[in-house]
Amino acid sequence: MSPDELTALLEAIRDRDVSVAEGLRRLSAPPVRDLGHTRLDTHRELRCGFPEVVYGAGKGTRELVEICKAICEEHAKLLVTRTSEQGAAAVLAAVPEVTHHARSRVLTRGLPGEDEGEGLVAVVSAGTSDLRVAEEAALTARMLGARVETYSDVGVAGLHRLLEAADALRDARALVVVAGMEGALPSVVGGLVARPVIAVPTSVGYGASFNGLAALLAMLNSCASGVSVVNIDNGFGAGFQAALINRVGAPTPAS
Amino acid sequence: MSPDELTALLEAIRDRDVSVAEGLRRLSAPPVRDLGHTRLDTHRELRCGFPEVVYGAGKGTRELVEICKAICEEHAKLLVTRTSEQGAAAVLAAVPEVTHHARSRVLTRGLPGEDEGEGLVAVVSAGTSDLRVAEEAALTARMLGARVETYSDVGVAGLHRLLEAADALRDARALVVVAGMEGALPSVVGGLVARPVIAVPTSVGYGASFNGLAALLAMLNSCASGVSVVNIDNGFGAGFQAALINRVGAPTPAS
Amino acid sequence: MSPDELTALLEAIRDRDVSVAEGLRRLSAPPVRDLGHTRLDTHRELRCGFPEVVYGAGKGTRELVEICKAICEEHAKLLVTRTSEQGAAAVLAAVPEVTHHARSRVLTRGLPGEDEGEGLVAVVSAGTSDLRVAEEAALTARMLGARVETYSDVGVAGLHRLLEAADALRDARALVVVAGMEGALPSVVGGLVARPVIAVPTSVGYGASFNGLAALLAMLNSCASGVSVVNIDNGFGAGFQAALINRVGAPTPAS
Amino acid sequence: MSPDELTALLEAIRDRDVSVAEGLRRLSAPPVRDLGHTRLDTHRELRCGFPEVVYGAGKGTRELVEICKAICEEHAKLLVTRTSEQGAAAVLAAVPEVTHHARSRVLTRGLPGEDEGEGLVAVVSAGTSDLRVAEEAALTARMLGARVETYSDVGVAGLHRLLEAADALRDARALVVVAGMEGALPSVVGGLVARPVIAVPTSVGYGASFNGLAALLAMLNSCASGVSVVNIDNGFGAGFQAALINRVGAPTPAS
Amino acid sequence: MSPDELTALLEAIRDRDVSVAEGLRRLSAPPVRDLGHTRLDTHRELRCGFPEVVYGAGKGTRELVEICKAICEEHAKLLVTRTSEQGAAAVLAAVPEVTHHARSRVLTRGLPGEDEGEGLVAVVSAGTSDLRVAEEAALTARMLGARVETYSDVGVAGLHRLLEAADALRDARALVVVAGMEGALPSVVGGLVARPVIAVPTSVGYGASFNGLAALLAMLNSCASGVSVVNIDNGFGAGFQAALINRVGAPTPAS
Amino acid sequence: MSPDELTALLEAIRDRDVSVAEGLRRLSAPPVRDLGHTRLDTHRELRCGFPEVVYGAGKGTRELVEICKAICEEHAKLLVTRTSEQGAAAVLAAVPEVTHHARSRVLTRGLPGEDEGEGLVAVVSAGTSDLRVAEEAALTARMLGARVETYSDVGVAGLHRLLEAADALRDARALVVVAGMEGALPSVVGGLVARPVIAVPTSVGYGASFNGLAALLAMLNSCASGVSVVNIDNGFGAGFQAALINRVGAPTPAS
Amino acid sequence: MSPDELTALLEAIRDRDVSVAEGLRRLSAPPVRDLGHTRLDTHRELRCGFPEVVYGAGKGTRELVEICKAICEEHAKLLVTRTSEQGAAAVLAAVPEVTHHARSRVLTRGLPGEDEGEGLVAVVSAGTSDLRVAEEAALTARMLGARVETYSDVGVAGLHRLLEAADALRDARALVVVAGMEGALPSVVGGLVARPVIAVPTSVGYGASFNGLAALLAMLNSCASGVSVVNIDNGFGAGFQAALINRVGAPTPAS
Amino acid sequence: MSPDELTALLEAIRDRDVSVAEGLRRLSAPPVRDLGHTRLDTHRELRCGFPEVVYGAGKGTRELVEICKAICEEHAKLLVTRTSEQGAAAVLAAVPEVTHHARSRVLTRGLPGEDEGEGLVAVVSAGTSDLRVAEEAALTARMLGARVETYSDVGVAGLHRLLEAADALRDARALVVVAGMEGALPSVVGGLVARPVIAVPTSVGYGASFNGLAALLAMLNSCASGVSVVNIDNGFGAGFQAALINRVGAPTPAS
């Protein structure tokens, strides 16, 4: 039940369109919907501002479809990350209006248009191979209502590409900065802007990159102030955090 | 030069109180002040909204005093982290109006009063031994203009202490959550609020805590959305980012 | 030879149904049965209360079948963990009355019914992907005679699901708590109950989860008292220990 | 408030020795006592069967004394682990009837006599240097009501010392097995008994022991069933867990 | 050129069966045979007592065949470790009299019969899955002239299997002890015998075994004296070392 | 009781110089002498050819003295490793005829003269800072009866120093090779000789040496055959195993 | 635009063959060419002396072809590393004059002949399996204009192969030394020459090689002066730096 | 014996100022001088262009003085790194003309003046705390004959400080780049210049810097071409390598 739906219900009760008994029934439904394998937290949107996001990895195809259907019965929006090719195909077949973003392995339903978002989140990435993670971050932030601009292939070994974009970056309320290998980009960006930077290490690299550990450690040790870090390849987490920050800057709903 | 000082200078030029030649001279001073060992970035306040913060560890006493004096000549505010006892005493003797916060090893000058800040940052910590890091975060956020409320000793093995505080936590624009050992607190807090959580692992623990590595990894793998992480014991970094987020929510200066 | 079988033999000798010479022959069989590749410990049930459990990983199909047949010739019960699909099929074909539990890759023979067990072991798991490990734990505990109740998808980011179950959890003699990612669940459960908690980290996660290392370290550093830990994904080990604890609480056989 | 005290209060109300209003007052005291730096969980004994244990490391002397005094005002029993020499002296001076166990750095008050405990916990250790951890485990288990027997210097390189003790070990309801270096002892003990073994790796060793990591990993990979593990040097945790298991075997209070 | 061949050549020169010029030609051939990709050390047998051993991993099939052919042109013996199925088939087709040992992925030519060896090396292994490594060790030691006896599936959780073999183990000049998981077996064996023990950790295990790291660290920290360690799964290295030790005990060739 | 003492006793019984009853009494003394903190294995010399060696680290001064006295009451020889300055002084004061080797922190009693040993063990070390470990190895091998020759400061960056010694090295029955930093020396030595090489990594180095881990890993991965490895800084272990190997080459006592 | 092309343009302007306006247009083209997924740095040759090198791993086939085509439109030379078989085939089909070096997975266009290079870079490798990395280094150095000589299969366990080559190695301006396993070769080579040595650890090995970590650590701890290190398997990086060093020794272009 | 000394000797022989017999005597002195604890390589200057450098850590004061005296008897130059305060004082007292550089803990004798060097090495460092390592690099490069320019406190979070210096950096033949924390500086510098960059990670940082590991991994994964890396805090190694590269660019001695 989204905040809007709850408001509507309470107003209906106030206006006597819905009886108190019926209101009671609807509100006393347990906030968990049990699918056997999964217990959906149906009040999360009310509590956290967004329905439960589905982490697609490690779920069977049948389970994934059941979860997606159940969420779509309760909510207008759906966000699934790390879907297999097979899982994506099954969900597309079973649930209407779902879009598959192949590069980032994300499924969305109810994704706002590129110009519809409010505020601004910038998603900056270092190399071509980091794009899959950057896209996951951008889609997540858009799903949570942010307008997003992306800047890709602006790694630190070619500073002029980044410096050209510096002014534009300063307009964002929050920045997601994605980089693999030595993970230096967040430190450089963090020195150029006065906004929160969410750094995402990626597993791009080889040898002593240790699947992203090098970039992760570098980002945790950033000499720039205002940088925090999420898990390796966790574009979703960074996009989510950036969107929450973006909301902090939103005019209060009631005002 | 702070934004206010710059505005004042430009207005003085507009109003012909200061000649263009003099304005040019003042503005063209190099933005770096070279102390031999250290090159102070004197335009950082203009660019990033706060003067350079001094990282006290690994600096000699004489160097530390010179840096603090130089900053205080340019700015009203000073923030030094990780000072030794000896370094703190020397700065207190040499620079007026500096306060030493012994538990967190922080020096401040120009710290706003507890009620003066704008917005709200919550600083939540798990155990008594985590207080030194929590205090560093709180002081940093206050220095950057945030109002701060602290909740200490609310670890996950005694949930009721945390649940009592849950409503209050939801009022914050950003939360800093500090924990050592298994580092579980940010996940639990992240599930209770819809605001950005900055997690700080601490080196509290022994054995397989590996000086905070266990808590760091736990926080990076948080199952709660909206959690990002800073370095082990980096209360400063978390407080800084929380204050940046808090500013995102501030009414725009011009409005 | 199980304790019951030994008792029966000794009684038969006492009652002269079996000659001393024959009893001697049966008892003097070497307690190891050598299959060439494997030496079965046939007295383990007598010594440890349960026949040797077969660790299916890394065994060839032919070897696995031979081992299972040999055990079933000596014992009524069989428990095999980590079987491949291929190995499971071969054992099912060769040994009667074996059941394959596909999710947990476990084979059982002689599994008691869900209501038959004595005492109570609770198996609590955090996410859908942790179910395979939780099932391994539950089957193991049931094979050793415990009654088992399971609570799944009660992760710490949605506390209310867990708090609802808290009273029921307090009825268990021992709890197995299964979680991947940040591994926080055992700490929270450990704070709610006064019974031994056996924590099982799982390899669920990615990036800085390092295949379960993050959860393992978190659990080893739990701030809750009364938590001990087994290897990553070792549902069997946790279920086995929980069943041993459950037996500690059993009325003594003779009484 | 201990269970006995609560029972007494309720009976007094039933018997009209205490008015309902007074009972209400006593029961509605907040279950947390706030010392500024620490918030004592005063209902833990009611909930978990034992008052809060004080982790002495990282606490200032003044804080430590205040915490010990506060606990002794509410409870008859006190258990402090990892106290410094200085902290121990201060508590001994300020709180009556406290005993300092120097080898294990433990403080106790209300420690039952060696023959008073119920049930049996065996504490087995590998080398002379492991004794400090073994003593912490034994004292903890005794504080929680268990009778304890200790077997020291029975490392695996001299098996006969261990085999001599095997029969006695089988009498315990739970075993704590303490070892550094290669950490092999729990596997060998686990193969000899059919009771739960709580393994404690110690930091005894050098070089590739990595401060106990080698022993920790060995214990987590034990080929013996029924072994679980606690943190390096965590004698307290193992003793606590063993005592909880010991209680599982206790005749139910009411019966 | 083997020592025998060299002796024969020198004697032929002495006896004028070979001219000095021809002897010079044969002896002045460069001690390296260059195959383009590989430079065979043809004097190694003279210098180290055994021709170069071929490490099959990472070599192309064509390269592997060329190397094996070149060695067999110079020497009667061939030992190849870690061959792929495909590489083994190609060598069998191209070089006569080669045997493929499938379990251990070893190729041999000129392997002495089981009773032909001199002295005694014992190869002891813990579990069924360790057999492939144990076989590699046994074949290597036999190729270097040792008689070998093997003891398998004698893990520490079932001590009686090992204790039965203890007397026989004391007859060996050197022992190879192979174990995965917690790697405790070499410590126990080292406490039973007064001969050198070469410990081989295997990658058998899962989770916190970290592909054999747990066993490796345990063995390096063995509390038993007289234990040294080779790389994970390095049966070859252990067998080689044991055979060198075995030769130390051989009656001197000349005597 | 040493083998010689046992032989003497049995011969005395045979010759009726000692009664069977008295022989029985002497032989049936328990093979463990319990000092409270330590249980000495008094039959180890009989079983393993050398009395128990005392690991001095982590033992209190009083404990150390008691152990040394007890051993010297049973045996002519004493070997203590890793003694503190303070512990060494106390043992020297309490036990007659003990020598303190300060560089290696070893105590000996009954050390044979440099020319008395049988066979030959070579101890080769890479740098000046590795000498303390090399000395521990050499003293240990001498205590176990080997003649020892040492070659120091022959690191791989100055090959000519090592090549000069190559012929002499080939005379040894076993070689101990000690190196820190990159740990390359055992591979080079292993390529020059056909005898067993026991490699000892040392903690000499800094930064990415990680206290000897770099050298340890290098040695475990040696491309030379016939190299096995002991723990970091474990000169004792290497000297012990080299002496055992040296004994393998000894003419059999009886012959 | 290469330096020569720029010179030509400026001269054409000077000679009035090109108008200033046209020169302006050509020079003001942005130095970045945006392919959507990738932003080519077209001035890198001007700035760094060589066009952008393509890192083939993690790029889709279509992307790879587009990037190669775009580079070949601007430059005569192309260097691609770590191409998949599939990617290589697609580029060969789409771009003329490209050569595929299968062993090293490198694509080149405009590779100078073996005798055309200037100066001398030596590429030394330890084992047959290291050749793929050595070839990547050699091709890279040749692409940057160096003459290259290679020395393969000269590992430290057979020193004479290396010592034979020592004189020739001293002629090089820079040396690339490639080794897996224990990574000792750079230390030995570094002790033989007075030229810069670039060490490349490879992932050749198993077990405790940890995919090249052992060799990497060994090389970082080299006791030889004048050794620096690149990432595991990074033949490209080593060849590039060696070629830069080689250029330092080149007669200045202008002279 | 330095190259100049050798030339002089040979010319003296040619000119009959020195007899052949005397020349033979001087040249046939063994190239190693044995101090008991240390064997000095007296021909290293001839072979490698610089006398042996003394690594001061882990050497006793007496040993250090003896080594320094011995070197100064053979050579005009002396370079000692990582001296303790105490060791430095003793060498200053015993050996004439030695200078102690306290910040970098280096001793020099025969250090050329700042303007005397040939060519140019740039030493760039990120923060004030990195200066000690940068100074070690600069002194080493000067001792080997390079002219050195230093650029300090130019970290990546304040890019303008670095960009100002970019043109000057391009004049160097080789660059040493020193940074702790996230270690990003070499990547940025490597993108600005076309000369070899030797990166030095420092142990500056805390928490997840793991004593310089974060910076080391970042530098090994640099996305900039032409970067190689030395050990953590190894200013000496980087300065040495840079000076060797600088020499590559020197006009050949003979010309």
What does the pLDDT look like over C178-231, one tens digit per residue?
999 999 999 999 999 999 999 999 999 999 999 999 999 999 999 999 999 999
Provide the number of CB pairs (under 8 Å) joining chain E to chain F: 98
Contact E129 C59 (CB under 8 A): yes
* Proportion of chain D above pLDDT 90, given as a percent: 64
A194 in contact with chain B, both atoms CB, cutoff 8 A: yes
Distance, in Å, from the CA atom of H20 to the CA atom of H25, rounded to the nearest integer, reads 8
Please give the residue that has the higher pLDDT: either B31 or H142.
H142
Which residue in B206, B119, B132, B127 sits closest to B162, CA to CA? Answer: B127
Helix A85-94 with A61-74: angle, nearest 10 deg: 40
Confidence grade of residue B255 (pLDDT, cut at 50, 70, 90): very low
CB-CB contact of D95 with D133 (8 Å):
no
Looking at every residue in chain E, the average pLDDT score rounds to: 89
Residue of C104, C125, C129 to mutate for A, most A C-beta atoms under 10 A? C129
Which residue in F160, F191, F149, F197 sits closest to F176, CA to CA? Answer: F197
Instruction: Find where tokens 């306006």 sit.
Output: G21
What does the pLDDT look like over C36-84, one tens digit per residue?
778 777 777 766 678 889 999 988 899 999 999 999 988 889 999 999 9
What does the pLDDT look like over G123-147, one tens digit per residue?
999 988 899 999 999 999 999 999 9
Contact B232 H208 (CB under 8 A): yes
Q: Which CATH number fits domain H118-248: 3.40.50.2300, 3.40.50.300, 3.30.1490.20, 3.40.50.1970?
A: 3.40.50.1970
CB-CB contact of A132 with A106 (8 Å):
no
Confidence grade of residue F149 (pLDDT, cut at 50, 70, 90): very high
Distance, in Å, from the CA atom of A130 to the CA atom of A121, rounded to the nearest integer, reads 18
Please give the residue that has the higher pLDDT: either B255 or E194.
E194
pLDDT for res A250: 87
Query: What residues of chain G lie within 8 A of the CB of H198, using their CB?
Result: 228
Mean pLDDT calculated for residue range F61-72: 93
Out of H157, H163, H215, the one facing A190 most closely (by C-beta) is H157
The token pair at G59 is: 């790029």
**Farthest CA pair distance, chain E:** 68
Range from E126-135, G89-98, G151-160 carrying the lowest mean pLDDT: G151-160
What does the pLDDT look like over H167-188, one tens digit per residue?
899 999 999 999 999 999 999 9
pLDDT for res C255: 37
Residues 130-159 of A with CB under 8 A from C: none
Confidence grade of residue E228 (pLDDT, cut at 50, 70, 90): very high
Query: What residues of chain H lie within 8 A of the CB of B82, using their CB?
Result: 206
Contact G196 H47 (CB under 8 A): no
Out of C31, C38, C232, the one facing E128 most closely (by C-beta) is C38
Q: Which chains touch E (3 or more CB pairs under 8 A)?
A: C, D, F, G
**Farthest CA pair distance, chain D:** 68
CA D151-D157-D159 angle, to 5 degrees, is 60
E13 Cβ partners below 8 Å, 6+ apart?
Answer: E19, E20, E23
C30 has a pLDDT exceeding 60: no
Contact F214 G218 (CB under 8 A): yes
What does the pLDDT look like over E24-71, one tens digit per residue?
666 655 566 777 777 777 767 766 667 889 999 988 899 999 999 999
Q: Which residues pair with F124 in a beta bridge?
A: F151, F177
D253 has a pLDDT exceeding 60: no
pLDDT for res C186: 97
Q: Which chains touch H (3 or more CB pairs under 8 A)?
A: A, B, F, G
Distance, in Å, from the CA atom of F185 to the CA atom of G224, rounded to the nearest integer, reads 13
B46 has a pLDDT exceeding 70: no
C232 DSSP 8-state letter: T
B166 in contact with chain C, both atoms CB, cutoff 8 A: no
Contact G237 H248 (CB under 8 A): no
* Proportion of chain G above pLDDT 90, given as a percent: 64
Nearest-CA distance H122 → chain F (Å) = 23
Distance, in Å, from the CA atom of G235 to the CA atom of H166, rounded to the nearest integer, reads 28
Contact E48 F194 (CB under 8 A): yes
Residue G250's CB: how many other CB atoms inside 10 A?
Answer: 14
Contact B248 A53 (CB under 8 A): no
| pLDDT averaged per 10 residues in sequence order, chain A, 255 residues | 70 78 65 75 70 87 93 90 96 94 96 94 94 97 96 87 90 97 95 95 96 97 95 97 95 51
Out of B153, B206, B207, the one facing D39 most closely (by C-beta) is B153
D165 Cβ partners below 8 Å, 6+ apart?
Answer: D124, D151, D154
Report for B55-64, C101-110, D42-51, H25-34: range of highest mean pLDDT: C101-110
The token pair at D20 is: 């309902």
What does the pLDDT look like over E199-208, one tens digit per residue?
999 999 999 9
Contact F48 E240 (CB under 8 A): no
Distance, in Å, from the CA atom of B127 to the CA atom of D101, rounded to the nearest integer, reads 25
Q: Which residues pair with F176 in a beta bridge?
A: F123, F198
What does the pLDDT look like over B206-240, one tens digit per residue?
999 999 999 999 999 999 999 999 999 999 999 99
Out of B32, B59, B216, the one facing H208 most closely (by C-beta) is B216
CB-CB contact of C157 with A66 (8 Å):
no
Nearest-CA distance F177 → chain D (Å) = 17
The token pair at D218 is: 């060995």
pLDDT for res G255: 37
Question: Could you give the C-alpha distances from D66 to B104, D36, D41, D60, F84, in angstroms and in order?
Answer: 21, 10, 14, 10, 38
Query: What residues of chain E lie within 8 A of the CB of G133, using their CB?
Result: none
Task: Identify the helix (H) or strand (E) that includes residue C225.
Answer: none
C178 in contact with chain A, both atoms CB, cutoff 8 A: no
Mean pLDDT calculated for residue range H39-46: 72
What does the pLDDT look like over D176-234, one tens digit per residue?
999 999 999 999 999 999 999 999 999 999 999 999 999 999 999 999 999 999 999 99
User: The whole model's pTM is what?
Assistant: 0.90
* Proportion of chain B above pLDDT 90, given as a percent: 64
pLDDT for res G252: 58
G254 has a pLDDT exceeding 50: no
pLDDT for res C172: 96
Residue of B33, B39, B132 to mutate for H, most H C-beta atoms under 10 A? B39
Contact D182 E187 (CB under 8 A): yes
pLDDT for res A107: 97
C3 has a pLDDT exceeding 80: no
Which residue in B197, B88, B199 sits closest to B133, CA to CA? Answer: B199
Mean pLDDT calculated for residue range F119-125: 97
pLDDT for res H45: 73
CA D164-D165-D171 angle, to 5 degrees, is 140
pLDDT for res H113: 93
Out of A158, A191, A205, the one facing H156 most closely (by C-beta) is A191
Interface predicted TM-score (ipTM) of this complex, two decimals: 0.88
E241 in contact with chain F, both atoms CB, cutoff 8 A: yes
Contact A129 G58 (CB under 8 A): yes
Mean pLDDT calculated for residue range H12-26: 74
pLDDT for res B25: 66
**What region does A145 belong to: left with phi over 0, alpha with psi -120 to 50, or beta?**
left
CB-CB contact of B132 with B231 (8 Å):
no
Distance, in Å, from the CA atom of D173 to the CA atom of D185, rounded to the nearest integer, reads 18
D32 in contact with chain B, both atoms CB, cutoff 8 A: yes
Out of H221, H227, H249, the one facing G248 most closely (by C-beta) is H249
Instruction: Find where tokens 């020598």 sit.
Output: F99
Domain with CATH 3.40.50.1970 in chain G: 118-248
Distance, in Å, from the CA atom of E203 to the CA atom of B191, rounded to the nearest integer, reads 39
Distance, in Å, from the CA atom of E193 to the CA atom of D52, rounded to the nearest integer, reads 49
Please give the residue that has the higher pLDDT: either E26 or H85.
H85
Confidence grade of residue D17 (pLDDT, cut at 50, 70, 90): confident
pLDDT for res F157: 84
DSSP per-residue letters across chain E: --HHHHHHHHHHHHTTSS-HHHHHHHHTS-SEEE-SS-EEETTHHHHHSSPPPEE-TT--HHHHHHHHHHHHHH-S-EEEES--HHHHHHHHHHSTT-EEETTTTEEEESPPPTTT-EEEEEEEESSGGGHHHHHHHHHHHHHTTEEEEEE-S--GGGHHHHHHHHHHHTT-SEEEEEE-TT--HHHHHHHH-SS-EEEEE-----GGGGGGHHHHHHHHT-SSTTEEE--TT-HHHHHHHHHHHHHHTSPPTT-
Provide the number of CB pairs (under 8 Å) joining chain B to chain C: 122
G60 Cβ partners below 8 Å, 6+ apart?
Answer: none
Query: What residues of chain E lie within 8 A of the CB of C63, using their CB?
Result: 128
pLDDT for res E143: 96
Please give the residue that has the higher pLDDT: either H108 or D46.
H108
Residues 48-107 of H with CB under 8 A from F: 57-59, 63, 82
Please give the residue that has the higher pLDDT: either E174 or H58.
E174
F255 has a pLDDT exceeding 50: no
Residues 209-238 of A with CB under 8 A from G: 209
pLDDT for res E255: 36
Contact D246 C245 (CB under 8 A): no
Contact B207 D59 (CB under 8 A): no
Out of D44, D59, D212, the one facing B207 most closely (by C-beta) is D212
**What region does B183 belong to: left with phi over 0, alpha with psi -120 to 50, or beta?**
left
Mean pLDDT calculated for residue range D129-133: 94
Distance, in Å, from the CA atom of E235 to the CA atom of F178, rounded to the nearest integer, reads 23
Contact A241 B194 (CB under 8 A): no
Closest-approach residue (CA) in chain A for B252? A249
Please give the residue that has the higher pLDDT: either G124 or H96.
G124
B180 has a pLDDT exceeding 70: yes
Out of E152, E153, E207, the one facing C234 most closely (by C-beta) is E207
Confidence grade of residue H197 (pLDDT, cut at 50, 70, 90): very high
pLDDT for res F252: 58
Helices (H), chain H: 3-14, 20-27, 44-48, 61-74, 85-94, 131-143, 159-164, 166-169, 185-192, 213-220, 235-248
pLDDT for res A27: 64
C20 has a pLDDT exceeding 80: no
Mean pLDDT calculated for residue range E179-188: 96
CB-CB contact of H140 with H174 (8 Å):
no
Task: Determine the distance from the C-alpha atom of residue H4 to the mean position of all C-alpha atoms in its chain, rounded to a whole number.
Answer: 21
Confidence grade of residue D254 (pLDDT, cut at 50, 70, 90): very low
CB-CB contact of A27 with A9 (8 Å):
yes
